[in-house]
Homo-oligomer: A and B are copies of this chain.
Amino acid sequence: MTVDVPLLLDLLGVFFFAVSGSLLAARKGFDLIGSVLLGSMAGLGGGVIRDVILHQGPPAAYSHPIYLVPSLAASALVYFTVKNVQRSGWLLFTFDAGGLALFCVTGTLKALAAGMNPVAGILLGVTTAVGGGILRDITANEVPSVFDPKDLYAIPAFIGAALATGLWHLGWLNLATGSAAAVVVFMLRMLSLHFGWHGPLAARSWTPRRAVRS
């Protein structure tokens, strides 16, 4: 895997997440500038967090202006093509799943390439994958998707990060296998949405009636 392949997958991940951010901006009634900002936070946020944690210089999103291209393209696409924002929920979930799938792989690879141990690589891959979406959702004053108990979100990202780590250590990593890992993550996330696969609640013997806080 040359240095360009992770970049390509990374830029595609930025685009997918940025579309999800711009769609959410449209759904919240934000304007085009808000769409660019929320799209950029969703698309670039996970990678910025990753690069800040890796501590190897300014984040790629700032030092390489190419990262702005998919981010701006996503806002333009949403601006010109989305007809019915209220019915764009599945579109948002689908693009978000694409970003999740690519970022858990590229985030892990970047961590491993920086010399991190496998556990830290997986952890940073998951952080990269869920970070942008969490930033997007808390900025838009929503409970982040990753905490929705009706489907799986972090588990597919964890599996993708573990797959990428395995491929890396076995020397089997290339564009095909890396993309395959991302496809697995994407499918798992979409299937969990479709079939309502979900994990157990946070406290085993508790069935919440409504979310509360003292």
Q: Which residues of A contact B (CB under 8 A)?
A: 22, 24-38, 48, 52-55, 57-59, 62-63, 65, 68, 75, 78-80, 82-86, 89-90, 92, 116-117, 119-120, 123-124, 130, 134, 138-144, 146-147, 149, 152-155, 198-206, 208, 210-214
26 CB < 8 A contacts A-B: A25-B202, A26-B201, A28-B147, A29-B149, A29-B210, A30-B147, A30-B149, A30-B202, A31-B198, A33-B199, A34-B202, A37-B147, A52-B52, A55-B57, A58-B116, A65-B117, A65-B120, A68-B123, A78-B203, A83-B203, A86-B212, A89-B213, A134-B139, A138-B138, A141-B141, A142-B213
Shortest Cβ gap from A156 to chain B (Å)? 10
Q: Are A63 and B116 in contact (CB under 8 A)?
A: yes
